[in-house]
Structures are given as structure tokens and as C-alpha cells.
Amino acid sequence: MNSTSGTIGRWQGAGLMATTLLGTGVFILPQMTVKMAGHGALLAWALLTLAIIPITVVFAQLGAQFPHAAGPAFFVEKAFGRLLGRAVGLSFLLIVPIGAPAAIMMTFQFFQAMVPITGWGQLACELMVLLVLLGLNLRGIQVSAKAQFTLTLCIVVVVVLMFGSGVGHAAQFQRPEAALNTNGVLQAMGIAFWSFLGVEAMTHLTADFRNPAKDFIPAMMIGTLLVGTIYLACTWLLLPVQSDAPLAMMGAFDTLLGGHGVQVIGVLGIASGLATTNVYAASVARLLSSFSEQGITPRWFAPRNQFQVPVRALVMMLSLMALVLLANFLTDTRLDQLISWANGVFVIIYLLSMLAAVRLLSKRYRPWALLSAVMCLILGVALASAMFYAMVLMLVLLPLLWLQLKLRRPTLPPMAAS
């Protein structure tokens, strides 16, 4: 396959990773988990962060040792064969056009808090976001990596200032204890899993690092730990705060830092949401291009421009996102449904990737891979009925891909390593 010209360094990669994980959820998901689990939301975030650490370690090792634009699909194919690997890849292709529009819809909650807009006007603005993403990606992901590192620093600064004020005024706030709601904690973990979607997306961008062997793993770990800490801090801040602000984090900012929460949190939320969708657009376009080079999808999507960006694949995925946004608008599909469907598919992708790691990585990392697989199963239980969509998707893809391999086996070589 075509090689990419790596330009991302360790700290840019950490910023890219952290901004991708923070995304739209950093100022929204803590509020949702508090509503589900109360004070148990802190436990939910702590457990989820602990669960994601071994998963991140394994993905980082897989990405460093087996760099490939197909990411998890390539790992699973090397471990279990073409059929299952390509099912993982296509499931990722099919869920990102649903998950990315959900991220855009979450982003517009911040926009609406600043400039009330609904109906067709909001849809038009959401579609314009996709055009912005097209422009950002045409010159390569490294162009936005620098900007996203700066954005991550801004988010960290704001959260640190709020947390410092919250600690300084802790005695003024009432934090009543409540009985632990186990079901609420599990539900909170299930919805909070959205915040860590992006760990696997970074493996698609391994070749975009200047020195993947040296910088890729530290970038992923730094980003993941930073994000877990920020979510815990945000959740702790929301527990005692009562506010009439459009979003709870805006009210917390007003209470702790004296006002302008709508403007500060709104701008950061919008920028972070765009960053999340930007990384997914870049990674899924590379995956589609890689599949085209292997003959799994039409070869029309394979060509890349002078910046090694698969423009046709990028336009195709952004077009699918536009169709999903339009369909959601016409059918009034709830945002939480989109999030749940996306989470379920990613749990299966993560689980199969961890099982692949058991076979691909050295004995040193097998306990990490097995532990990560157990964590994925627990997350699947937490999502409960939301896993139905993911299982149906795999049951549809597997026989179709088996038939494709049966009919075209002589022309379908295994995925080549980058």
C-alpha cells in the first residue's frame, strides 16, 4: 500500500489522542452519568478509566508492532483470518457514519446554548461542518494535529482552574451521601464508554507519526490518562452545583469562576466536537482506501493526493455522514440511541482486537490482552440491549463476506503490512 509521510510527534499525538477522547463528551457526559448514578458516577468513571488503560496498552502495542491503515481490522485478520478481519473493518466503516453524526449533534448542544437555532437551519449548519472537515483533511491529518494539541491544553487549563476553585470552596458546597446504585453505575459506564471511543482510531494513523516505535505508545498512554483524570474532575465538580444554565458544566463554570460559562464552555465544546469528528473522518477514509487497495471495496476509493489523503474515500464517508444527519432530522431519532448503537459495535471491535492480541503479541502482553477482553465483556453487559444492533450487524456481514471470499478468493490477497 502507499506509505504516508509521518509528521506527527509524541506531544502532537498525545494532543490528538486526548482531544479525540475528550471530544463532544467532556462537557456533556459527566452530566449524563451524574443523572444516572448520582455520586456513583465517580465510581463509574474511575472503573471505566481503569478498564481502558489495559485496552490502550494493547492497542498501542498492536499499532506499534503492526502499523497499518486498517487498524483493528488488520490485527484481527492476522490473528483469525480474512473473514473476521474484514467483518471488523466493514463494521467500523458502517458505524462511523452513525457515530460521527452523533458527535456533531452533541456539538450543536453547545452551539444552541450560544445561538438558538433549530429545524432546517440547524441541519444546514451541521452539513456545513462536514464541508469544514473536508477542507481540514485535504492537506493531511498533521495540519489539524497541531491545532488540536493547543485545544487540549485549553480544555485542561479550564478544568484545572475549575477544579482548583472547587477544592478551595469545597466547604461551601453540600455533597450529600447516597446509597450506591449498582445498576446506575453500570448504566453510567455504558454511556460513558463513548468518551473513550478513539483509542482504536489512533491505530489507523500510526504511519502518520514521525517515529511510531518511539512516540506512538507514549502518545496514546499520555492522552488516555489525561482524559480519565479530566472526566473524573468534571464529574466531581458537577455533583454539588445547582444551575439553570443550558448545560451543567456551563453552570459550574459560572458558579466557580464567576460567569461567562456559556461562552467559554460553548466555544471549547464546539471546537472539541469538531476535532473528534475530524479524526474519525481521517481514520475511516484511510480504512476505506486500504480496503480498496486490497480489493474488498471498489478500487475507485484507493487513490491518494500529493499529501497522501484518500480524497475519494474521504468524500464518500462525509457524504454518508450527511445522509445520516438528514435521516436523523427527518425521523427524529434520539441522540442516545445513536450513541448506544455506536458503543455496542465498538465493544465488539475492541473485544476481537484484544483476542487477536493474545495471539499476536509476546507473552509479556498476553495478560494485558486477556484482562482487556474481560473488560470488554463487562462493558457489553453494561450496554445490555444496545448490543443487539452490533450483533445483528456482524451476523449480516459475516455471510456476505464469506460469499465474497468464496467467489473472488484468487483475487483477494491478505492485507499487506504498512
Between 196 and 70, the more confident residue is 196
Least confidently predicted of 61-65, 135-139, 372-376, 382-386: 135-139
Report pLDDT for 141: 59
> Which long-range contacts (C-beta less than 8 Å, at least 24 apart) are formed by 62-65?
62/203, 62/353, 62/356, 62/357, 62/360, 62/361, 63/202, 63/203, 63/206, 63/212, 63/216, 63/217, 63/220, 64/206, 64/212, 64/213, 64/216, 64/217, 65/360, 65/361
- The one-letter code for the residue type at 52 is I
**Among 138-152, 365-379, 388-402, the least confident range:** 138-152
pLDDT of res. 377 = 92
Residue 318 has pLDDT above 60, yes or no: yes
* Model confidence band, residue 63 (pLDDT cutoffs 50, 70, 90): confident
Q: How far apart are the C-alpha atoms of 202 and 200, rounded to whole Å?
A: 5
Mean pLDDT of the chain, nearest integer: 81
Share of residues in the chain with pLDDT > 90 (%): 11
User: Could you give phi then psi for residue 81, rounded to 5 degrees?
Assistant: 105, 170
Domain-by-domain residue ranges, the chain? 10-408
- The 10s digit of each residue's pLDDT in 169-227 is 665 555 555 667 788 888 888 888 888 877 776 766 776 777 777 787 888 888 888 88
Q: pLDDT at position 358, please? A: 94
Say which CATH architecture domain 10-408 belongs to: Up-down Bundle (1.20)
In sequence order, the β-bridge partners of residue 8 are 209
- What's this model's pTM, rounded to 2 decimal places? 0.77
* Residue 4: predicted pLDDT: 47
Q: What is the model's pLDDT at position 3?
A: 43
Give per-residue pLDDT as tens, 76-135: 999 999 899 889 888 878 887 777 888 888 888 888 888 888 788 888 988 998 888 888
Round to the nearest angstrom and report the end-to-end CA distance of the chain: 7
CA pair distance 93, 294, nearest whole angstrom: 15
CB 9 within 8 A of CB 147: no
Give Cα separations from 97 to 102, 253, 389 (angstroms): 9, 33, 15
User: Which of 99-113, 267-281, 301-315, 350-364 holds the top average pLDDT?
Assistant: 350-364
Using pLDDT thresholds of 50, 70 and 90, give the confidence band for residue 69.
low
Are 198 and 276 in contact by the 8 Å Cβ rule? The answer is yes
- Rounded-to-integer distance, Cα 276 and Cα 45, Å: 20
Q: What is the mean pLDDT of residues 236-256?
A: 80
Q: Is 51 a residue whose pLDDT tops 90?
A: no
Q: Residue 38: phi, psi to the nearest 5?
A: 60, -130
Q: At what angle do helices 82-114 and 261-293 cross, to 10 degrees?
A: 160
Report the range of poorest mean pLDDT among 24-28, 52-56, 197-201, 326-330. Answer: 197-201
The alpha helices in 294-365, defined as continuous H runs, are 311-331, 335-360
Min mean pLDDT across 64-73, 115-124, 218-227, 338-347 is at 64-73
Task: Report how far residue 211's alpha carbon sits from residue 242's, in angstroms, rounded to the nearest whole number.
Answer: 47
Q: Is the pLDDT of residue 327 over 60?
A: yes
Highest mean pLDDT: which of 5-9, 56-60, 109-113, 280-284? 56-60
Extract the runs of DSSP E, i.e. beta strands, from 130-253. Answer: none
CB of 125 within 8 A of CB of 111? Answer: yes
Which of these, 279, 286, 281, lies nearest to 415 by C-alpha position?
A: 286
Q: Are 232 and 46 in contact (CB under 8 A)?
A: yes
| Averaged pLDDT, 326-352 | 84
Contact 174, 319 (CB under 8 A): no
* Beta bridge partner(s), residue 209: 8
